[in-house]
Amino acid sequence: MLAGAPGKVPAEQAQQTMTAIEGDYEKVMKQYWDKLLSAAKREVRAQREREMWSVPKEASLRIIRAIFEFDPLPVLRRYPGPKLILFTASGDAPTDLQNLLPDVPHQRIEDTSHWVQMDEPDEFNQVLDAFLASVR
């Protein structure tokens, strides 16, 4: 089960995003975090906002570059086992996994931020339990 996992952003779009981040790191990252935190529960937003600047800028840039460089699609297409993509409103862009792999079962959990497991832990655990029960 993949929860909130990124898809594959086209190289040109990834480069534009990296250029924007490198040009004004604080502003662009704040906009990104605001998107990820949309619909977050108050306590989840507070926790993530306290922690969001704890990753040093250079490490953050390396992580973002690595995400843009990695293409999960070939690996997921080859994987023969059961799959489920769990996503939220903040993770429903055309380049997100459920849209790039529409044949893979997917489920959307409403009214949560990117951190669905923190916003709705009971619903997240129910989905996870049902998925695990289906693969036994």
Amino acid at 112: T
Q: What is the pTM of this model?
A: 0.88
Domain of residue 62 covers 2-134
Q: Which two tokens stand for residue 10?
A: 């086209």
Q: Tokens for 50? A: 């306290």
Q: Which two tokens stand for residue 5?
A: 């996992």
User: Residue 4 corresponds to which tokens in the numbers above?
Assistant: 């909130």
**pLDDT at 68 (0 to 100):** 96
If one counts the domains in the chain, the total is 1
What does the pLDDT look like over 28-47, one tens digit per residue? Answer: 999 999 999 999 999 999 99
The whole-number pLDDT of residue 110 equals 92
Q: What share of the chain is helix, strand, coil (3-state, %, to 5)?
A: 60, 5, 35
**pLDDT tens digits, 73-131:** 999 999 999 999 999 988 889 999 999 999 999 999 999 999 999 999 999 999 999 99
Is the pLDDT at 136 greater than 90? The verdict is no
Quote the CA–CA distance of 54 and 75 in Å, as a whole number: 31
What is the rounded CA–CA span in Å between residue 51 and residue 93? 25
Residue 53 or 126, more confident:
126
